[in-house]
Amino acid sequence: MTDEGFAVDMHVKVLDEAVVRRAKARGLDALVYAPHFTRLPDVRERAERFSDDELTVVPARELFTGSWQQRRHVLALGLDDPVPDFLTLEGTMAELDRQDAAVLVPHPEFLTVSLTEDQIRRYEDRIHGLEVYNPKHLPHHNERARELARSIGLPTFTSSYAHLRGTVGEAWVSFDRPLTDETAFVGALRDGEPRRLFHRNGPLHALRCGLEFCHLGYENTWSKFDRVMLQGTAATHPDHVAYGGRFDDVKVY
């Protein structure tokens, strides 16, 4: 815990020894780790492997809801049971409600991959935070996100949304008390505990933001999705044997 409080990078996609070293050097106390297309048990195992007395890694899932062309991202923490990607938004939110998960909205209304204002308002009683600064955003995206948070009255957060190691710690949230395990952290989110939002500035930060934005070109290709998901046995495909057909009535593929 630093003088700025308990500092958390609220969403990263990468996790290895280099990421941990960078997080500690940046003064972070915790990371939220939510890689794409990775089942919860695997996310949780890797998070535990890289957690220690100096840094807590909290497992999470950024769920892709709807079809690839109309996908909406939802960040879920505190899950007990795995949830696949590409369910209907209604089906996903119902499952997260059943599990009493903390539900965050990353990059709202960003391009074609985010919850819209109407969708956020529809589920506002189940949402525990709205992201208002993201390195992949352009300035008007951050302004629009802040406007939405004020209008709807939701707690806010920021994150590095790091797909690249060098972006870890570029943006973070500071809570006033230590949140030293997943249960405490998820509880703080669900309770809307006070927090302060920070991000770096200057030319190097602008470069990091530019690199992350450019990375979208790969992240949003159909070829990537076809390779990792439409094979039917991908880890987070609803038809994967691990889900036992439990989501057949709300899947879109």
| 249 found inside a domain | no
pTM over 0.85: yes
At residue 32 the predicted structure's pLDDT band, cuts being 50, 70 and 90, is very high
| 231 found inside a domain | yes
Q: Which residue has the tokens 């790969």?
A: 218
* CATH number for the domain that contains residue 208: 3.20.20.140
Number of domains in the chain: 1
Task: Say how far apart CA 90 and CA 12 lie, in whole Å.
Answer: 25
| 250 found inside a domain | no
| 252 found inside a domain | no
Task: Say how far apart CA 239 and CA 237 lie, in whole Å.
Answer: 5
pLDDT tens string 146-191: 999 999 999 999 999 999 999 999 999 999 999 989 999 999 999 9
The per-residue pLDDT for 5 is 85
Percent of the chain with pLDDT over 90: 81
Domain containing residue 183: 6-243
Each residue of 8-35: b (16+ CB within 10 Å) or e? bbbbbbbbeeebbebbeeeebbbbbbbb
Question: What mean pLDDT value characterizes the chain?
Answer: 92
| 1 found inside a domain | no
Please give the full DSSP string across the chain, using - where no structure is assigned. -BTTBEEEEEEES--SHHHHHHHHHTT-SEEEE--TT--HHHHHHHHHHH--SS-EEEEEEEEEES-STT-EEEEEES-SS---SSB-HHHHHHHHHHTT-EEEE-STT-TTSS--HHHHHHTGGG--EEEEE-TTS-HHHHHHHHHHHHHHT--EEE---BSSGGGTTSEEEEESS---SHHHHHHHHHTT--EEEEE--SHHHHHHHHHHHHHHHHHT-HHHHHHHTTTS-STTSTTSGGGTTTTTTTB--
| 251 found inside a domain | no
Q: Which residue has the tokens 């994967």?
A: 240
| 253 found inside a domain | no
| 177 found inside a domain | yes
